Amino acid sequence: MKQLFLTLFLMCFTLSAFPAKKAKIIKVTVQPKEAAIYVNNTLIGYGYAEFNRPKKKNEVAIIRCECNEYSPINTKFYGADERNSLSFSLQQDGFFRGSATSGLVNKFITVILDPKYYTVEGDKVDVKPAWKLLHQILLNYFEEIETTDVYGGFLQTPWNYKSFNLSEKQIRTRVTVRDITTPERVAFQIKISSEVAGSMAARHGEFTEIDRIPKELEPMIQELQTRIGKASSL
Q: For residue range 4-58, list pLDDT tens digits in order.
A: 444 544 455 444 444 557 889 999 999 999 999 999 999 999 999 999 999 999 9
Q: Where are the alpha helices (DSSP H) in 139-216?
A: 199-203
pTM (two decimals)? 0.73
State whether 114 and 34 are in the same domain. no
- In this structure, are 134 and 101 located in the same domain? yes
Both 102 and 82 in a single domain? no
Domain count, the chain: 2
Pairwise CA distance, residues 37 & 87, whole Å = 11
171 and 128 in one domain?
Answer: yes
Query: Which residue, of 92, 108, 134, is where some domain finishes?
Result: 92
One domain, residues 163 and 83: no
User: Do 79 and 101 reside in the same domain of the chain?
Assistant: no
Residues 127 and 200 in one domain: yes
Q: 117 and 64 in one domain?
A: no
- Distance between CA 83 and CA 118 in Å, rounded? 73
Give per-residue pLDDT as tens, 201-210. 988 999 999 9
**Bridge-based pairing state of the strands 85-89 and 25-31:** parallel
* CATH number of the domain bearing residue 132: 3.30.530
- Domain range holding 86? 2-92
b/e per residue 68-94 (b: at least 16 CB within 10 A): eebbebeeebeeebeeeebeeebeebb
Torsional class of 227: left (φ above 0), alpha (ψ -120 to 50), beta (otherwise) = alpha
Is 47 buried (19+), middle (13-18) or exposed (0-12) by CB count in 10 A? middle
Query: Is the bond preceding residue 32 a cis peptide, omega within 30 degrees?
Result: yes
Residues 145 and 215 in one domain: yes
Residues 73 and 115 reside in one and the same domain: no
Q: Are residues 87 and 105 in the same domain?
A: no
The pLDDT confidence band at residue 123, using thresholds 50, 70 and 90, is confident
H or E element in which residue 196 lies: strand 187-197
